[in-house]
Amino acid sequence: YTKQYGKAPSSFGGYAYDGLMLIVDAIKMGKSAAPKDIRDNLEKIQGFKGTGGIFYFSAEDHNGLDAGAFEMVVIKGGDWQLAK
């Protein structure tokens, strides 16, 4: 991406991609695009490998990512660094 467009990709594009692919998978899973069916099938998705981590959904967990998928960061010198 950087080579082709001359800048680093935004993480927001990855989040949008994950969301879209999760909806596509839920529709395929239930063979229905009805909102209730999409929700019900999203809750069944386990092990979806997205750009933001590996998603495991349930009726109780609509985030799908556990704490291990996140890193605390700080800005130092105008750039992101892992917090210590």
Bridge partners (DSSP) of residue 56 are 46
The pairing of beta strand 79-82 with beta strand 53-56:
unpaired
Q: How confident is the model at residue 67, as a pLDDT?
A: 86
Q: Residue 10: pLDDT above 90?
A: no
**Confidence band of 9 (pLDDT split at 50, 70, 90):** confident
pTM for this predicted structure: 0.77
**Confidence band of 70 (pLDDT split at 50, 70, 90):** confident
Q: What does the buried/exposed string (b/e) look like for 3-33 if buried means 16 or more CB atoms within 10 Å of the residue's CB?
A: eeeeeeeeeeeeeeebeeebeebbbeebeee
Say which residue the tokens 């800005």 belong to.
75
